[in-house]
């Protein structure tokens, strides 16, 4: 297994000497003990959905609050109901079918083309190359041209930004609602102009009356980040210490470079966890443990979440990473890491800088 020093959130933002403690800055209980995490994820008193409490404590006026509550009722990342689980299964079925039809040859061609166009004399910026690769991959999955995909992602950002803060603010809520309107209008224009590929996710989902607009935006804006994170980590290993073998190196990535850095739950009622009382409405952030060996080099990890809330894009991300790995392993070129940097985000890991010399 590859070993190296990598200064990440595990070293700078979490106190691993304590199993569970409250962090005032993060407004959350922090759990670092794997066994406690397993108990939390099994508890029906600890929910993924924080929206009801946020709405109840927000200063949003009636009409805006009602529209926000209605729209986000199908935001699958957080919802726990039986209907939401059925919708997740349906979306996963659509996406898995698209990923199966997305051939390794096509993926490899996209990766090789972007690497060739981004390679110049001297330094190569693999953050930029990764972003271009992932935009092409995601646009293909959604059945769009890259520029149309970029535009939909851009206008959708306020929709997700509203959820990531600790409080729901009136201005952000209104921006989110405005973005929802623009997204709906643009989808209508794309459909009328016959710009959606029939085999892409958007075309399939729009023909399904059970798939809501909020679900479409949820899948769109939350899909690219984990793919990009994993892809950068493969390039990082190649430049930092060289590639050993796929299983071992995926284990390294999912151990210390997991795209998602914690799994969160909200207490539906006062709950005692390992002798501490978590009050109703308080957040619990379970730090994703290091790789747990269970056959597959990625299914034994919580790197893409856990249970019914596991990331829907995991099969695509792993497929792209494997193809990238095979391309890099076959290269005879010499590569040297020049400079890298990681983000300082508690919830999501990625490389913000990845400069290498490739000869």
Report the alpha-carbon distance of residue 213 to residue 69 in Å, rounded: 14
CA 211 from chain centre, in angstroms, equals: 20
Domain span holding position 315: 9-358
Report the alpha-carbon distance of residue 314 to residue 35 in Å, rounded: 24
**Tell me, what CATH number does 249's domain have?**
1.10.630.10
Strand order in the sheet with 28-31: 20-23, 28-31, 283-287, 262-267, 46-47
Report the alpha-carbon distance of residue 238 to residue 244 in Å, rounded: 9
Q: Is residue 344 part of a domain?
A: yes
Q: Is residue 3 part of a domain?
A: no
How many domains would you assign to the chain? 1
Q: Is residue 272 part of a domain?
A: yes
In tens, the pLDDT along 264-281 reads 888 989 999 998 999 998
In tens, the pLDDT along 214-272 reads 888 888 887 888 899 999 999 999 998 888 888 888 888 877 787 887 888 889 899 99
User: 316 near 85, Cβ under 8 Å?
Assistant: no
- Helix (H), strand (E) at residue 44: none
Short-list 10, 7, 48, 5, CA closest to 261: 10
Q: Is residue 1 part of a domain?
A: no
Q: Is residue 129 part of a domain?
A: yes
Bridge partners (DSSP) listed for residue 351: 342
DSSP reduced 3-state for 153: helix
What share of the chain has pLDDT > 70, as a percent?
Answer: 87
Q: Is residue 266 part of a domain?
A: yes
Short-list 344, 318, 4, 52, CA closest to 353: 344
Q: Is residue 70 part of a domain?
A: yes
Report the alpha-carbon distance of residue 182 to residue 71 in Å, rounded: 14
The pLDDT of 164-182, averaged and rounded, is 85
Q: What would the two tokens of residue 318 be?
A: 């792993």
DSSP reduced 3-state for 348: strand
Evaluate if residue 49 carries a pLDDT over 90: no
Evaluate if residue 292 carries a pLDDT over 60: no
pLDDT of amino acid 25? 86
Q: Is residue 4 part of a domain?
A: no
Question: Which letter does DSSP use for residue 33 in this model?
Answer: -
Which sign, positive or negative, has the C-alpha torsion 329, 316, 147, 68? Answer: negative
pLDDT of amino acid 301? 54
Report the alpha-carbon distance of residue 239 to residue 174 in Å, rounded: 44
Question: Which letter does DSSP use for residue 197 in this model?
Answer: -
Evaluate if residue 45 carries a pLDDT over 50: yes
Query: Which has more pLDDT, 124 or 51?
Result: 124
pLDDT of amino acid 297? 40
């Amino acid at each position: 297994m590859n070993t190296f020093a990598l200064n990440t959130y595990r070293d700078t933002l979490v106190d691993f000497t304590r199993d569970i403690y409250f962090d005032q800055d993060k407004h959350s209980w922090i759990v670092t003990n794997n066994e406690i995490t397993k108990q939390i994820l099994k508890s029906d008193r600890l929910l993924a959905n924080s929206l009801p409490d946020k709405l109840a404590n927000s200063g949003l006026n009636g009409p805006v609050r009602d529209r926000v509550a209605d729209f986000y009722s199908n935001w699958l990342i957080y919802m726990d109901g039986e209907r939401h689980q059925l919708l997740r299964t349906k979306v996963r079925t659509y996406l898995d079918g698209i990923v199966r039809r997305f051939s390794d040859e096509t993926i490899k061609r996209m990766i090789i083309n972007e690497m060739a166009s981004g390679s110049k004399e001297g330094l190569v910026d693999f953050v930029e190359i990764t972003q271009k690769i992932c935009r092409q991959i995601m646009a293909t999955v959604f059945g769009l041209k890259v520029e149309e995909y970029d535009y939909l992602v851009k206008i959708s950002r306020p929709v997700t930004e509203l959820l990531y803060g600790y409080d729901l603010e009136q201005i952000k809520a209104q921006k989110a609602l405005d973005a929802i309107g623009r997204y709906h209008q643009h989808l209508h224009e794309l459909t009328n102009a016959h710009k959606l590929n029939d085999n892409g996710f958007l075309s399939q989902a729009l023909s399904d009356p059970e798939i809501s607009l909020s679900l479409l935006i949820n899948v769109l804006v939350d899909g690219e980040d984990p793919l990009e994170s994993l892809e950068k980590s493969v390039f990082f290993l190649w430049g930092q210490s060289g590639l050993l073998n796929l299983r071992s190196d995926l284990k390294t990535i999912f151990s210390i470079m997991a795209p998602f850095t914690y799994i969160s739950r909200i207490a539906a009622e006062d709950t005692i966890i390992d002798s501490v009382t978590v009050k109703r409405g308080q957040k619990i952030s379970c730090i994703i443990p290091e790789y747990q060996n269970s056959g597959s080099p990625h299914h034994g990890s919580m790197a893409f979440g856990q249970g019914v809330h596991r990331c829907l894009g995991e099969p695509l991300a792993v497929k792209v990473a494997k193809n990238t790995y095979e391309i890099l392993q076959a290269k005879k070129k010499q590569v040297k890491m020049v400079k890298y940097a990681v983000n300082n985000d508690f919830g999501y890991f990625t490389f913000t800088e990845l400069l290498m010399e490739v000869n």
